[in-house]
Amino acid sequence: MTAKQILIVEDERPIREMIAFGLRRGGFEVREAHDVKSARASIADRRPDLVLVDWMLPDMSGLELTRALKRDKETQDVPVIMLTARADEQDKVMGLDGGADDYVTKPFAPRELLARINAVLRRSSDGHADEIIEADGLVLDAASHRVTVGENTVQLGPTEYRLLSFFMTHAERVYSRAQLLDRVWGGNVYVEERTVDVHIRRLRKALEAFSYDRFIQTVRGSGYRFSTRME
C-alpha cells in the first residue's frame, strides 16, 4: 500500500514543521501549504487523501477553505480535519457545520492528532460492500458511495454518508450516541458525543430537500433511529 498523502495548511512554520515531522514518522507522505491560495494550488495539482487545515490563515479562514472543498465535486470526498486554537465550543461546532470531518484543538499531543487522522481515514475508506439499500425511494449504493432519490443525488460528506449507511443497514433500531460513536466513528476516544448531534443535523439537512429528514428520528432519552414509519 502506498503512503497516504496529507496536506497541512498552516501559516505558522514551527507548528507546520512539527506536525509534518510527526506525520512523516507516522508513515504519511506530507505536503505543506502556508495559506489558502497555495493549498488550493497544491490540491489542484494532486488530490491529497486528507487535509489538515488551521482555522486562522493569512488570506482566508480555514473554515472558508473547508467550505470551498466540500462544495467542489472534485474534492468533497477528501476528509478535512480543522486545527483550531479556539477552545470555544461554538467555533468547533461551526467548523463541523462548515463541512470538516473532525477538529483538533491546539495545543494537541502528536499521538492524538495521529489517532484522529487514522480514524477519519478509516471512516472514509470503509463500507465498500457492493450493496444497494432502498428505503421508500431513498437509495444508497455502497459500491459507488452515492445516495440518490430518483434522478437526484443527495450531497453528503463522508461522515454523513457513513452515518446514513449505518442507519439504513440497521433500520428501526435505536442507537445511543455512545453506540453510534462506537459503530460509526470506530470508538475513537477523542470524539465527543455531541459530535454525533452535529453530524445528525447535517445528515437531516441534506435529506430535508427530499423530505427524508423525517427518517432520522430522535428518540428522547435514548438516541437516534432510522425509520420510514412516522413517529
One residue of 32, 49, 54, 160 binding Ca ion per CB under 5 A: 54
One residue of 56, 142, 171, 174 binding Ca ion per CB under 5 A: 56
User: Helix 193-208 crosses helix 177-184 at what angle (to 10 degrees)?
Assistant: 80
Smallest separation, CB 10 to Ca ion (Å): 6
First-to-final CA distance of the chain: 47
User: What is the three-class DSSP state of 123?
Assistant: helix
One residue of 11, 77, 97, 112 binding Ca ion per CB under 5 A: 11
85 contacts Ca ion (rule: CB under 5 A): no
* CA pair distance 83, 92, nearest whole angstrom: 10
Nearer to Ca ion, 56 or 135 (CB): 56
Smallest separation, CB 179 to Ca ion (Å): 36
Backbone angles phi, psi at 156, to 5 degrees: -130, 145
* CA pair distance 170, 164, nearest whole angstrom: 10
Nearer to Ca ion, 84 or 217 (CB): 84
Nearer to Ca ion, 106 or 170 (CB): 106
Smallest separation, CB 24 to Ca ion (Å): 21
Q: Whose CA is closest to 156, among 182, 189, 127? A: 127
Residues that bind Ca ion (CB under 5 A): 11, 54, 56
